[in-house]
A and B are shown apart, each in its own frame.
Chain A
Amino acid sequence: MRKYWIVFSVALSERLVYRADFFLATFLRFIPIVTTILLWRAIYDGGGRTQVGGLAYSEMVGYYLFVMITRAFGSMPRLATDISTDIRDGGLRKYLLQPINYLGYCITLRAAHKIVYFVMAAAPYALVFWLCRGYLPGWPSGTMLVLTIVSLIFAFMLGFAINSLIGLMGFWFLEVASFVHVFMTAQYFLSGHMFPLSLLPESVAHVVMWLPFAYETYYPTMILAQQLDAAAAVRVIAVQALWVLVLLAAGQWAWMRGLRRYAAFGG
């Protein structure tokens, strides 16, 4: 395990080389949310409704704010393309040569990147949440706080499992970039990143609510927004764990099969 800890700390110091980007990037990330808030204001007012998809206006705004946090855990920018590039361009070589597990290495690296991001982004996030405090529920109870954190960590693992699986398709396809793009769009929609999944027609929601994407964003966000009670939260975490296991196993299988085809081109 110690070797992964060192990978982690080296990745931390590598990330800090680029620290200047963080501050600005974090602020910019909140800009679209202003539009979203205004849009929902118009929807609620225009329809004269107090609830949409079971959420009041302030809860809706809260949802979008909390999605930012969930995505901070679950999003894996460029992971899929990084993996497929490693496969295609031979970057995989060094991990195959060294006594280290490639996917273990990748997840450690991502964890390090996340930690750096959280530290750098803490201040801007706190500021935005303080400014928006009117839309937010109060502090959760101790139990709910623990469940929330567990669920967010699973969101991270789920994001990793899904995206690495896509990346491993690079063993079979030369170019996964366009596929990744389609996938990202679908994920944006199906995960609840775009809007709360409770807005979906019931028949569609029935299916979508069981897909892993929902457990990557929608459910952890609902826990974070205190829309679910402890029992429901525990059930969400159980399904998350199940999906993580299934997808990591699928990734391991793809890894084994893929390596047999691997030609180590360009490397």
Chain B
Amino acid sequence: MARAGGAQAASFAAGSRRYSYDLPRSVPWPGMGAIHVHNLKKTYRVHRKPQGLSASVRSLFRRQYKMVRAVDGISFDIEPGEMVGFLGPNGAGKTTTLKVLSGLIYPTEGHVRVLDFVPQERKNAYRRQFALLMGQKNQLWWDLPAAESFRLHKEIYTIDDERFERVQDDLTEMLSVKDLLNQPVRELSLGERMKMELIAALLHSPSVLFLDEPTIGLDVVAQASIRRCLRDYNRDHGVTVLLTSHYMQDIEALCDRVMVINHGRLVHDGPLQTIIERFAAHKILTLRFQEGAWPDRIEDVGDVIEFNPPAVTLRVPRESVTRHAAELLSAYALSDVSIEDPPIDDVISAMYGDSAMMTPDQEASGA
């Protein structure tokens, strides 16, 4: 196997002049971070199939291609042990980035280093140190019990017996699937299967974990269980995690840092809370009036979200919310006032929808 790896690396070096990641190693590479991405771009060439028969026939001889830029110059660094959430609408470039980081595809431009490896070289030494788990794909053998697939993993990753037993015990315990080990994978529920997939991904104790929608389609209990496992595992083993999810609870529970990508560009990189501060234009003002103290023109204060007298909930522009609250407090008898941030889901979906708001300032994009 070592020989095959060597041959791969050698011919990689021979044929890779056209690819910029193969520049001399003197390119700035700060310290010993876990993941370093600099100005990553990935363009896909997509065959444009014209409509109509004659055009289709013509395209047999002369194909038309369209270049689609999936990732358009993103840069970030992730330190060992960090758990970073990767957010963005479908097609924003999240999965493409994960594929580049795990060496599945070649970057069009830019530098990528993970654990000081160039992922595209796909050295066995690198492949032993990371895992990519995709919620929508399965790696386990469908007709065999998970235990058989695990045994195969043990050999593929050359994990020694004692350690394999221990890790498998720990993980099956943690996810409470010990009894299901010998049941064919096809007979498992989606949640149970996902847990098995997660175990398969962690068996070789990777130091970097890429998770693409690990909880997609799962029920709340299974989601929580996977989330708990990931959090404990990160705490106990210091594994570096880059995680995409459409479930904000995943991100809130796991990630101190969040990167938001849209149209292939990084539009935010920082704590989850700062997204709200930067991108939420409104606050949620809830008022509960005392008997007979109902104002005439409450809708002047902001958009009414919920109206059930004597309480009302309004969406109020951020900059004027305190002024309005103070005015109302002094003019009317109120039994309760609260000012809250809008739900993070709403803020994020507003971000996705409004690309005008997406012009990243340099500081935030981490460039």
- A interface vs B, CB < 8 Å? 1-3, 5-7, 10, 13-14, 17, 90, 93-94, 96-101, 104, 174, 256, 259-260, 262-264, 267
Contacts and interface: CB of A to CB of B under 8 A. Distances in A.
Contacts of A262: 104-105
B144 A14 contact: yes
Nearest to B46: A263
A267 B143 contact: no
A10 B151 CA distance: 9
Nearest to A257: B15
B127 A99 contact: yes
Contacts, number: 79
B69 interface: no
Contact of B152 (A6, A97, A259): A6
A256 B156 contact: no
Interface stretch (B131-139, B163-171, B284-292, B315-323): B131-139
B137 A93 contact: yes
B1 interface: yes
Nearest to B42: A263
A206 to B, nearest CB: 35
Interface in B51-108: 99, 102-106
Contacts of B103: 96-97
Interface in B142-164: 143-144, 148-149, 151-158
Interface in B114-130: 122, 124, 127-128, 130
B1 A3 contact: yes
Given A97-B132, A264-B104, A10 B137 contact: no
Nearest to B11: A256
A41 B154 CA distance: 57
Nearest to A10: B152
Contacts of B139: 94
Contacts of A101: 1, 4
A99 B144 contact: no
Contacts of A100: 1, 156
B143 A17 contact: yes
B104 A10 contact: no
Interface residues on B, range: 35 or more
Contacts of B122: 96
Contacts of B157: 98-99
14 contacts: A1-B1, A3-B156, A6-B151, A6-B155, A6-B156, A10-B141, A10-B148, A10-B151, A10-B152, A98-B127, A99-B1, A256-B11, A256-B12, A263-B105
B279 interface: no
A102 to B, nearest CB: 11
A151 B131 CA distance: 41
A98 B105 contact: no
Majority secondary structure of chain A interface residues (helix, strand, loop or mixed): helix
A2 B153 CA distance: 12
10 interchain residue pairs of minimum CB distance? A6-B155, A99-B124, A99-B127, A3-B155, A264-B104, A94-B139, A3-B156, A100-B156, A10-B152, A101-B4
A101 B158 CA distance: 14
Contacts of A264: 99, 104-105
A260 to B, nearest CB: 6
Give the most central of A2, A7, A10, A263: most B CB within 10 Å.
A263
A14 B141 contact: yes
Contacts of B134: 93, 267
Contact of A267 (B137, B153, B154): B137
A4 B42 CA distance: 34
B110 to A, nearest CB: 16
Nearest to B148: A10
Contacts of B137: 90, 93-94, 267
Give the most central of A97, A101, A263, A267: most B CB within 10 Å.
A97
A57 to B, nearest CB: 46
Given A10-B144, A98-B127, A260 B4 contact: no
A98 B155 CA distance: 11
B244 to A, nearest CB: 15
B104 A99 contact: no
Given A93-B137, A94-B139, A263 B44 contact: yes
Nearest to A100: B156
Nearest to A104: B4
Given A7-B156, A256-B12, 17 more contacts: A2-B155, A6-B151, A7-B152, A10-B149, A93-B134, A93-B137, A94-B137, A96-B104, A97-B131, A99-B128, A100-B1, A101-B4, A104-B4, A256-B11, A259-B106, A264-B104, A267-B104
Interface string B318-361: 00000000000000000000000000000000000000000000
